[in-house]
Chain A
Amino acid sequence: MPLQVKRLLLAFAVFIGIMLGLKYFLTPDSWREYGPYRGKALIEIADKVPKYVDMETCIMCHDSIGELKIQGLHKSIQCEICHGPGYLHVDEPEINKMKLPAGSEFCIQCHARNAARPDKIIKQVDAAEHSEGENCISCHNPHEPWL
């Protein structure tokens, strides 16, 4: 066998040895605990603080709005869809205010006429014609929108 091939095989053996050593020492403990991933990743993901706290949490304080909302057509829409995530607000409501949607532009994201949208489920209007520039909430209460 030529000398350079012998040396290369030796170099490869050293390299493979280093790689195996690295693999042995650096592979995370929980690797392959359940499959080809870190088992601890599941705990890390589960430990993340949820940003959305759910409507039931909102109703604990805002009960009058909750009562109104569950009677209306927006009953299946979570509060945080319009007001943003509430995890900070729950801890310190005075400091971390919830967002208030700005004007009609917000409403027409869902309610503007769009042929791709199912008309039976989401009421749709031609915004310019329907409100003539008036803000939607002048006539409709978003917590209990009537038709």
Chain B
Amino acid sequence: MDKFETLYEALANLDGFIYPNEIALNWDLLIVMYPYITGLVAGAFILASLNRVFDIKALRPTYEISLLTALAFMLVATMPLISHLGQPFRFYEMLITPHLTSAMAIFGFVYLWYLMVVLLLEIWFDYRYDMVIWSGEKKGFMRFVYRALTLWVLDTSPESRKTDEKIGYFITVVGIPSAFLLHGYVGFIFGSIKANPWWSTVMMPVIFLFSAMVSGIALVMFIYMAVNYLRRQKTDIFCLDTIAKYLFYILIIDFTLESLDQIHRIYEADESFDILKLLVRGKLFFTFFIMQIGIGTIIPLSVLGFLQFKKPRERIRKILYLIVSICVLVGIFYMRWNVVIGGQLFSKSFYGFTSYKVDLIGGIDVWLSVLWFVIPFFILAFLLWLLPPWKKAEELPHE
């Protein structure tokens, strides 16, 4: 109710009956950004794993970019939550007091495991040899930085590289269930809230996971093209075709799962169904049907499906891939929006609605959300400068 000074103001935002604690949304745009950003991390990592574990060689040019993208977004994944809490002087308490009594409080464990044990280790083993070489080439401060990053392990023997390779492979294998855990966990937070029929479904972790993979793969596709454009390098069209193929497959699974969830709701038609029907047809019409399903799913599916059968000229394909990646990223954002905001718009009495408007002027949540989405791109630019994938040494020949 803090947003409304009087009941009169609050009532102007409502339709029908609603409980007092449902009038103002507690979770705003920043909480939409949280699953969106973590989804990008998990998705980008899973694309990297496709190359490493399943040995899909066509995806090799995107391997390091995927890992660094995952890291760049992972570093800010907590920021939407922290800024939403609005306690800048004790935000760190969230990270130093994890416990097992609530799904949300487990975040500290999940985050640390994924960041420290999976992502950083995998990148470290992948780059260790190169960092040793670069430390030899650089002078002064940068030499020290690279040496420190190698933890002063300057061994460049083929045996040490083989060890890096083996451990890196093992971490990637562990990393796949970890990435599933990370985003499945975010879906679980919503899916486990049994009082909310829009959220409470066992499908939620799986849906979140597949939508995460879709968005992460689209993001890496976009970044791969953007990086090549900025470096004035030729984009490997075979690699793009392969990414697009996997994006197409996973988008089909994602769309099927989400459709299954909705069909299940429609057929089951329990006591909450009437209000959810009004919600989807009314307040969520634009974000659900137009943005999530139309722009985010139907258009990419049609374009990618078409490209599986017919291959236009390379230039046209690139433009289509660029458009598809943006469409998917927008669509998945609206998927998160529909879950987070949609779940708070209807009353648990099932007799009324509240409303939510994003304050474009004067609303701090919008600017913070934009900030937390833009900063990872700068972090990524820094990481690509520090650890350029295109300057890496040749891989060891596989035996």
Contact at A117–B17, with CB atoms within 8 Å?
yes
Residues of B within 8 A of A138 (CB): none
- Interface membership of B323, Cβ < 8 A: no
B97 CB contact (under 8 Å) in A10, A31, A99, A102 = A31
Q: Which residues of A contact B (CB under 8 A)?
A: 2-5, 7-8, 10-12, 15, 19, 22-23, 26-28, 31, 35-36, 38, 81-82, 84-85, 99, 101-102, 106, 109, 114, 116-117
Q: A4, A11, A99 — which one has the most chain B CB atoms within 10 A of its CB?
A: A4
Residues of A within 8 A of B351 (CB): 116
Contacts A7-B152, A109-B12 supplied; 20 other A-B pairs, CB < 8 Å: A3-B153, A3-B160, A4-B128, A4-B155, A4-B160, A4-B167, A7-B153, A8-B151, A12-B116, A22-B92, A23-B96, A26-B92, A27-B97, A35-B101, A36-B105, A84-B5, A84-B7, A85-B5, A106-B8, A116-B352
Q: Which residue of B lies closest to A117 (CB)?
A: B17
Contact at B153–A4, with CB atoms within 8 Å?
yes
A3 and B16 in contact, given A26-B96, A116-B352 (Cβ under 8 angstroms): no
Alpha-carbon separation in the docked complex, A75 to B228 (Å): 72
Residues of A within 8 A of B203 (CB): none
Residues of A within 8 A of B11 (CB): 109
Contact at A7–B151, with CB atoms within 8 Å?
yes
Alpha-carbon separation in the docked complex, A58 to B16 (Å): 30
CB proximity of A131 to chain B, nearest CB, Å: 18
A15 and B97 in contact, given A7-B151, A116-B16 (Cβ under 8 angstroms): no
Alpha-carbon separation in the docked complex, A78 to B220 (Å): 57
Residues of A within 8 A of B125 (CB): 4
Give the number of residue pairs across the A-B interface with Cβ within 8 Å.
72
16 contacts between A and B (CB under 8 A): A2-B160, A4-B128, A4-B153, A8-B151, A12-B116, A23-B96, A26-B93, A28-B90, A31-B93, A31-B97, A36-B99, A36-B102, A84-B6, A101-B8, A102-B8, A116-B17
Contact at B16–A114, with CB atoms within 8 Å?
yes
Fill in one digit per residue for B133-165: 1 if any A CB lies within 8 Å of its CB, else 0: 000000000000000000111010000100110
Contact at B153–A81, with CB atoms within 8 Å?
no
CB proximity of B122 to chain A, nearest CB, Å: 12
Residues of A within 8 A of B152 (CB): 7
Alpha-carbon separation in the docked complex, A117 to B352 (Å): 10
Q: Which residue of B lies closest to A114 (CB)?
A: B16
Ranked nearest first, the 6 interchain pairs of A and B with the lowest CB-CB distance are A84-B6, A7-B151, A109-B11, A36-B99, A2-B163, A4-B153
Residues of A within 8 A of B167 (CB): 4-5
Alpha-carbon separation in the docked complex, A35 to B116 (Å): 28
Residues of A within 8 A of B110 (CB): none
A19 and B160 in contact, given A36-B101, A84-B6 (Cβ under 8 angstroms): no
A19 and B16 in contact, given A82-B7, A116-B352 (Cβ under 8 angstroms): no
A99 CB contact (under 8 Å) in B6, B17, B105 = B6
Residues of B within 8 A of A2 (CB): 160, 163
B93 CB contact (under 8 Å) in A12, A28, A117 = A28
Contact at B116–A15, with CB atoms within 8 Å?
yes
CB proximity of B159 to chain A, nearest CB, Å: 8
Q: B7, B16, B153, B167 — which one has the most chain A CB atoms within 10 A of its CB?
A: B7
Alpha-carbon separation in the docked complex, A38 to B99 (Å): 13
Residues of B within 8 A of A38 (CB): 93
Q: Which residue of B lies closest to A26 (CB)?
A: B96
Residues of B within 8 A of A85 (CB): 5-6
Q: Give B84-105 interface residues, CB cut-off 8 Å to A.
A: 90, 92-93, 96-97, 99, 101-102, 105
- Interface membership of B121, Cβ < 8 A: yes
Q: A3, A10, A38 — which one has the most chain B CB atoms within 10 A of its CB?
A: A3
Contact at A3–B96, with CB atoms within 8 Å?
no
Q: Which residue of A lies closest to B12 (CB)?
A: A109
CB proximity of A9 to chain B, nearest CB, Å: 10
Residues of A within 8 A of B12 (CB): 109
B96 CB contact (under 8 Å) in A8, A12, A15, A22 = A22
Residues of B within 8 A of A26 (CB): 92-93, 96
Q: Which residue of A lies closest to B151 (CB)?
A: A7
Residues of B within 8 A of A82 (CB): 7-8
Residues of B within 8 A of A101 (CB): 8
CB proximity of B77 to chain A, nearest CB, Å: 18
